[in-house]
Structure 1
Amino acid sequence: GRFALKKRVLLAKQISNAIEELDLDGVNIDIENLTEKDRNAFTDFVRLVRKGIPRHKEVSVAVAANPSGWTKGWHGSYDYENLAKHADYLMVMAYDESRLAGPTASVGWVEKSIQYALTQKVSPQKLVLGLPFYGRCWMKGQSNPQAIPLYLVKSLVKRHNGTIIFDTKSQSPKAIFTIKHDKKGPLPPGTYTLWFENEQSLKAKINLAQKYNLKGLGSWSLGQEDSSVWNKVFKNI
């Protein structure tokens, strides 16, 4: 990321050339794990990209959810207010909440992330709420979780006679199961806690997007969802 920002004039030009040559609709800029030291350079890079392509082409920026208003580290690299001046919208990556076993995106955490963005003088119509189409699975005794796409959750839990509990406070489901052996699955033997998303948890977050009149919804990432969400969750939005 830092190497890119050092050469941001050249990179912005390359992006604008690609958009023109390939007749693309625009570009989403997603550079992660910078720090507050890169804040101004990153904003300037977005400015250069916006300046270099026609106004009818779209520039969007993926930003870390920041429910606590952190100004240091990765979260500090995103100047919401000034990025929004150059971008058509910011996509708030409202997922990966928990480092230890816990929700991927609890409803309270997501709401605080939206509220923070609005305090940064960003119009609701410049905010897109990113939804997780995956869960995180923690093995007992291990600290590093594994991402599980939503389309695998039902079969994985059923195969291992797991129990699903819906946590009303976070509006998130979790499954607990033990794998003795599994030739079909992505996980080694062990006891697991899997926090994921279902129809109810996704609807709770979509309700927040409607409550705050946000521009729309995004996801990480298409292809990881359970196909049923399109008819059961998104059909009537």
Structure 2
Amino acid sequence: MLRFLFLPIFFVITVSSSTSDIKAIYWLQQPLFPPSAINTSLFTHVYYAFLAPNNATYELHVSNSTAANLATFTATLRPSVATLISIGGANSDAALFAVIAFNATARAAFINSTIAVARAFGFHGVDLDWEFPRTANEMNGLGQLFKEWRAAIFAEAASTSREPLLLTAAVYFSFDYFLSETTSLRYPVCSINDNLDWVNVMSYDLHGPWSNRTGPPAGLFDPKSNASVSYGLQSWIRGGVIPKKIVMGLPLYGRTWQLLDPSVNGIGAPTFGAGPGLDGSMALFQVLEFNNETGANVVHDKKTASVYSYSGGYWVGYDDPVTVAVKVAFAQSLYLRGYFFWAAGLDTSDWKISTQAQSSWMLCINESGGVN
């Protein structure tokens, strides 16, 4: 099914897997899905999300309860996977990161605290999720932050005779930042190549119920705009970022809409708000439950290499094993480093999507299009 539906859309090349490939997932602190529930056989790296800096000291804030959670996290996952602390997130104070990026004293306090916390709790690295730098000056500050952060990591490793911590960042789906009022706004490519181990490209939330028309939240292609996974990933490469420093993001959730007219239910159908779920968002396992319980129509769209379902007045865009396999193959065709998921606990109980991604990554597609 996969080969006949989608593989002709893009070229196939010989690819191979290596021990340095990234198969990562973010875990958001919450009691319903503890670290012990993560199937570590499917991943190489797991991110603890999120910590945040103090707005006065610029050091990471770690309460007693958070300290206990950090210790449990690493103790549970060690030595199966590498673990990283992720700092920031969509609900963090973006302005605070701008202050840190601009101020040398604040940068030093922030950087030193991230290294100290990572080492104190046995993490293998640190990750910055600043959503998002908004000006050219902030992007320049981000580049300086990465440079000083890497230097401090190397200095600490040399002084303690330890392996250097990993340094990564979660970034916008496209290298050229659409949301900026500065049309020339770009990420600091030289600093990324020189100082980061990789970037996690958030290749999702390209469409959602905040707009008045349906659209694939993480469609591989979009014939009508640049809001696609393929455009975003290729823009990072065109911008000069080394492909092996790029990791593609995959969502383990769907976005939902209410259709204005249930009889008009394709991609681009008019809507008037969010559908089922929290603010128009449902975990993948909830999407499948919705499909089963309502007898929803499920459609694989060839033009966007995406899947959606609709029932009554509701419309859901999401990823399934077919679309994930296609996107993983596309990432390999670009020689990317790997993929990551947002977030643990949203997949099915048997880890259907995560298992498909791992299996697809391991496939070797030869020049004739055959799969070994």
Shorter-chain TM-score range: 0.7 to 0.9
**Which residue does the alignment assign to 2:359?**
235
Q: CA deviation at 1:73?
A: 4.8
**Which residue does the alignment assign to 1:120?**
239
- String of CA shifts for 1:170-229, please: whole Å, max 9, x gaps: 111111123xxxxxxxxxxxx211001101110111011110111111111122123222
Q: CA deviation at 1:161?
A: 2.2
CA distance in 2, matches of 1:113, 1:148: 24
- String of CA shifts for 1:58-103, please: whole Å, max 9, x gaps: 0001110117664835993632342232101111111111143210
Equivalent residue letter for 2:109: L
Equivalent residue letter for 2:218: A
**Which residue does the alignment assign to 1:135?**
254
CA distance in 2, matches of 1:156, 1:3: 40
Bigger radius of gyration:
2
The secondary structure found in structure 1 opposite 2:131 is coil
> What RMSD over aligned residues (CA atoms) do the two structures have, in Å?
2.3
CA contact (8 A) 1:173 1:197 kept: yes
**Which residue does the alignment assign to 1:159?**
293
CA distance in 2, matches of 1:68, 1:15: 28
CA contact (8 A) 1:34 1:74 kept: no
The secondary structure found in structure 2 opposite 1:164 is strand
**Which residue does the alignment assign to 1:59?**
167
- String of CA shifts for 1:122-160, please: whole Å, max 9, x gaps: 111111111111110012353356111111111112112
**Which residue does the alignment assign to 1:19?**
118
Question: Against the structure 1 CA distance between its residues 73 and 30, is the aligned structure 2 distance closer, same or farther, given a 3 Å change threshold?
Answer: farther
**Which residue does the alignment assign to 1:84?**
193
**Which residue does the alignment assign to 1:47?**
147
Question: Against the structure 1 CA distance between its residues 67 and 174, is the aligned structure 2 distance closer, same or farther, given a 3 Å change threshold?
Answer: farther
The secondary structure found in structure 2 opposite 1:143 is strand
Higher mean Cα deviation, 53-62 or 168-177? Answer: 53-62
The secondary structure found in structure 1 opposite 2:244 is helix
Equivalent residue letter for 1:89: W
Aligned residues: 225
TM-score by length of 1: 0.85
CA distance in 1, matches of 2:124, 2:307: 36
Q: CA deviation at 1:121?
A: 1.7
Question: Against the structure 1 CA distance between its residues 74 and 160, is the aligned structure 2 distance closer, same or farther, given a 3 Å change threshold?
Answer: farther
Q: CA deviation at 1:24?
A: 1.2
CA contact (8 A) 2:255 2:316 kept: yes
Equivalent residue letter for 1:142: F
The secondary structure found in structure 2 opposite 1:142 is strand
CA contact (8 A) 2:132 2:172 kept: no
1:173 matched to 2:297: no
Question: Against the structure 1 CA distance between its residues 115 and 232, is the aligned structure 2 distance closer, same or farther, given a 3 Å change threshold?
Answer: closer
**Stretches of structure 2 lacking an aligned partner (at least 5 in a row):** 1-93, 100-105, 158-162, 222-227, 260-270, 363-372
Equivalent residue letter for 1:96: D
In structure 2, which of residues 330, 345, 360 is the aligned counterpart of residue 208 of structure 1?
Answer: 330
1 or 2 for the larger relative contact order (CA 8 Å, sep ≥6)?
2
The secondary structure found in structure 2 opposite 1:42 is helix
Question: Against the structure 1 CA distance between its residues 231 and 129, is the aligned structure 2 distance closer, same or farther, given a 3 Å change threshold?
Answer: closer
CA distance in 2, matches of 1:233, 1:23: 28
Identity %: 20
Question: Against the structure 1 CA distance between its residues 96 and 139, is the aligned structure 2 distance closer, same or farther, given a 3 Å change threshold?
Answer: same
Question: Against the structure 1 CA distance between its residues 27 and 13, is the aligned structure 2 distance closer, same or farther, given a 3 Å change threshold?
Answer: same
Question: Against the structure 1 CA distance between its residues 22 and 11, is the aligned structure 2 distance closer, same or farther, given a 3 Å change threshold?
Answer: same
Equivalent residue letter for 2:187: Y
**Which residue does the alignment assign to 2:207?**
98
CA contact (8 A) 2:97 2:130 kept: no
CA contact (8 A) 1:93 1:129 kept: yes
Question: Against the structure 1 CA distance between its residues 149 and 81, is the aligned structure 2 distance closer, same or farther, given a 3 Å change threshold?
Answer: farther
CA distance in 2, matches of 1:97, 1:59: 26
